[in-house]
Amino acid sequence: MSYKTKQSALILEYIRQNSDRHLTAEEISDGLKNEVGKTTVYRNLDRLCSQGVVRKYLLTDGKSSCYQYIDCDGSDSHFHLKCLKCGRLFHLECEHLSDIDEHIKAFHDFRVDTSRTVFYGICGQCEKERD
């Protein structure tokens, strides 16, 4: 039902090695110069996305979609922090925050999808390096 091709292996390897960043389809295609066509990148990302291996995001300011490999996910309730400046994505796992979604469910009658929810802001490093 699914073949292992050179291209799909390259794509998966690439997003895995860059799992700390959001990647656009173009960045992936460029990162694998001349080895994988852009169409194939899109199709592979789609498949990986529906398999739950990759997550698709949309930038708040930009135009194109971003994709990111999911290391550690599943039933875990954890949020993401996305730096608007450097673009890095941080995993946020913390006792103090683990019950946010439960609280919102109980008191605000809203079931939060933590995997879709991203906190946007500025990370500590960028804050220091402000220019």
Partner DNA sequence: CTAGTTGCAAAGAGTTTGCATGGCG
Partner DNA sequence: CGCCATGCAAACTCTTTGCAACTAG
Contact residues for a second copy, defined by CB under 8 A = 56-61, 81, 83-84, 90, 92, 94, 96-97, 100-101, 103-104, 107-113, 116-124, 127
Residue 108 touches which member of DNA, a second copy, none, C-beta under 5-8 Å by kind = a second copy
DSSP secondary structure letter of residue 56: E
Query: For DNA, which is the closer residue by CB, 6 or 128?
Result: 6
Query: For DNA, which is the closer residue by CB, 82 or 101?
Result: 82
- Of 56, 60, 72, 46, residue with least CA distance to 24: 56
Q: How far is the CB of 17 from DNA (least distance, A)?
A: 18
Tell me the C-alpha distance between 71 and 88, whole Å: 15
Angle at 49 between CA 116 and CA 87, to 5 degrees: 55
Q: How far is the CB of 50 from DNA (least distance, A)?
A: 11
Query: For a second copy, which is the closer residue by CB, 17 or 125?
Result: 125
- Of 8, 74, 3, 87, residue with least CA distance to 45: 8
Residue 130 touches which member of a second copy, DNA, none, C-beta under 5-8 Å by kind = none
Tell me the C-alpha distance between 90 and 118, whole Å: 10
